[in-house]
Amino acid sequence: MTVNHQPLLTQADLLKRGLADLQEHDAELAQILDAEVARQQRTLSLVASCCAVKPRTLAASSSVLVNVTAEGVPGRRYHAGCENVDLVESLAIQRARQLFGAQYAGVQSHSASSANYSVLAALLEPGDTLLGMALDNGGHLTHGSPVTFSGTYYNAIGYGTTKEGLIDYDEVRRLALEHRPRLIICGATAYSRVVDFDRFRRIADEAGAILMADISHIAGLVATGRHPSPIDAAHVTTTCTHKQLAGPRGGLILSGRDANEKVPGRDVTFARVLELAVFPRMQGAPAVNMMAAKAAALGYAMTPEFDAEMQRIRDAADVMASEFQARDYEVVGGRSENHTILIRLRANMTGAIAEAALEHCGIVVNKNRIPGETRSSFVTSGLRIGTGALAQRHIDAQGCRQIVDLLCRILDQVTPQGDNEFTLDPALRKQFCAEAEALCVKYPIADYLAN
Ligand code: DSN
């Protein structure tokens, strides 16, 4: 029998065909996706948890690996047909270990929240005590908030910040010795100063607790040495891959010097517990295409270009914090030592109004609660500003000053009507939009996306 061999399709063929098919057969969806591409180029994102993925990462996340079911880990799968999947996952693991200097890396978690869930579920029994940073003070939902598993399955105790907005390490120690938590979480989503991981470890050791660090917001600064690393200080470190690492939506679980130590009270190492924590305990088959995208992002994170981007994040945060202070805004914590600037808004301005008014003018920020907060998390009295996406636009000091100036001028012209409503002269709004768009043109994201 003669077999008529068709040329095999390549990844590039499929991606090109997919884009063309989407335009031709699903114009409704294609238009929404194109509108989002335009929005991301035409608005200034100051969202602390956002940045843009490189096209190579986007392509890897759209790869045919999405078709493969691959429960298990490289070399030990419950499914056949995994030879390329094994290579992809091994590459992502190797790059994660290298980038962070970790002995153990797990790359299957669908997000940092699910990574946190996996770690807690594997190391704690329901009802055990957990000590984490309170959400109101800059922690994360999964660090003990009662609206998540972490605050309902466990006896969650929250630590906070001083009135100046700094982590109150004395309070952390006092609470740790009083409540003897099985696990302490350090790391934050709205905290602009360095986290002293070594001090947390000393407190954890004194209290007989396991230490978990969640570096989702600062992973790029940690990877490039611009923030102390928790990898050897904490027993376990988690991070998402989609903030500073510019990767896909996903999570990593890492461990350093404790990886091959036994979990206190158990005859099993941290590395083995962490591996089983994700599959089969928490997840089934991993999103293999996302593991490929993680590998792509981690590869980029080892380049001089990424290193320079992380320096721009720091430089921009310093300039912007000073500019806000020069305009008499309080910067919570006194200054920024990472990518975040948390500002206290003026008395009658709420975070909800500021966020909405700025978005109307082409600037995207987050409302955020601040120390001593009296308003709800839907209203708030603060704004959280991040410099990650600006760094990808190759922002310089002059651009940072112009953005703070524009942002403050907009807020000065907004008249709040209660907690959520406001008025802003339409002519002024049009002018502000034009200024924001001009800054997007002056600092285009296209150069970052060029390769
Ligand atoms: N953790 C949330 C944030 O910091 O914005 C979402 O990633």
Q: Is residue 324 part of an annotated ligand binding site? A: no
**439 is known to lie in a ligand binding site:** no
DSSP-derived secondary structure letter, 379 = T
What does the DSSP 8-state code read for residue 361? T
Find out whether the beta carbon of 189 lies less than 6 Å from any atom of ligand 1: yes
- The count of other CB atoms within 10 Å of the CB of residue 447 is 11
Q: Tell me if 351 is assigned to a ligand binding site.
A: no
Question: Which residues have CB under 8 Å from 58's CB, separation 6+?
Answer: 293
> Is 141 annotated as belonging to a binding site?
yes
Q: How far apart are CA 47 and CA 177, in angstroms?
A: 36
Q: What angle do CA 16, 21, 26 make, to 5 degrees?
A: 140
List the alpha helices (DSSP H) in 129-269: 149-152, 169-179, 197-207, 219-223
Give the count of beta carbons closer than 10 Å to the beta carbon of residue 427: 8
Q: With contact defined as beta carbons under 8 Å apart, do 357 and 411 qualify? A: yes
Closest C-alpha to 286, from 55, 444, 93: 93
HEC sequence for 300-329: HCCCHHHHHHHHHHHHHHHHHHHHHHHCCC
Q: Is 376 annotated as a binding residue?
A: yes
CA of 188 to the centre of ligand 1 (A): 10
Hey, what are 214's tokens? Answer: 């969640």
- Would the CB of 143 count as within 6 Å of ligand 1? no
| The pLDDT value given to residue 1 | 66
Share of the chain above pLDDT 90, in %: 97
Distance CA 279, CA 276 (A): 5
Give the β-pairing of 129-133 and 76-77: unpaired
Take atom 6 of ligand 1 and give the residue whose Cα is closest.
49
Ligand 1 midpoint to CA 81 (Å): 36
Cα 190 to ligand 1 centre (Å): 9
Determine the Cα–Cα distance for residues 68 and 83; give it in Å rounded to an integer.
Answer: 11
Output the CA 181–ligand 1 centroid distance in Å. 25
Q: What is the pLDDT along the chain (451 residues), one digit of tens a residue?
A: 677 788 999 999 999 999 999 999 999 999 999 999 999 999 999 999 999 999 999 999 999 999 999 999 999 999 999 999 999 999 999 999 999 999 999 999 999 999 999 999 999 999 999 999 999 899 999 999 999 999 999 999 999 999 889 999 999 999 999 999 999 999 999 999 999 999 999 999 999 999 999 999 999 999 999 999 999 999 999 999 999 999 999 999 999 999 999 999 999 999 999 999 999 999 999 999 999 999 999 999 999 999 999 999 999 999 999 999 999 999 999 999 999 999 999 989 999 999 999 999 999 999 999 988 999 999 999 999 999 999 999 999 999 999 999 999 999 999 999 999 999 999 999 999 999 999 999 999 999 999 8
In DSSP terms, 210 is beta-bridged to 183
Assess contact for 101 and 274: CB atoms under 8 A.
no
- Cβ neighbourhood burial of 374 (10 Å; 0-12, 13-18, 19+): exposed
Measure the CA–CA gap between 126 and 97, rounded to whole angstroms.
31
Sign of CA dihedral 392, 397, 398, 401: positive
Q: Ligand 1: does its nearest atom lie under 6 Å from the Cβ of 140?
A: yes
Pure H helices in 130-237: 149-152, 169-179, 197-207, 219-223
Atom of ligand 1 nearest to the CA of 240: 7
Q: Taking the model in full, what pTM does it have?
A: 0.97
pLDDT score for 68: 97
276-298 as b/e: b if 16+ CB within 10 A:
ebbbeebbebbbbbbbbbbbbbb
Q: Whose CA is nearest to atom 3 of ligand 1?
A: 49
Using alpha carbons only, what angle is made at residue 448 by residues 443 and 451, rounded to the nearest 5 degrees? 150
Residue 29: predicted pLDDT: 98
Query: By alpha-carbon position, which residue is closest to atom 5 of ligand 1?
Result: 49
Ligand 1 neighbour 49 (Cβ under 6 A): yes
Radius of gyration of the chain (CA): 23
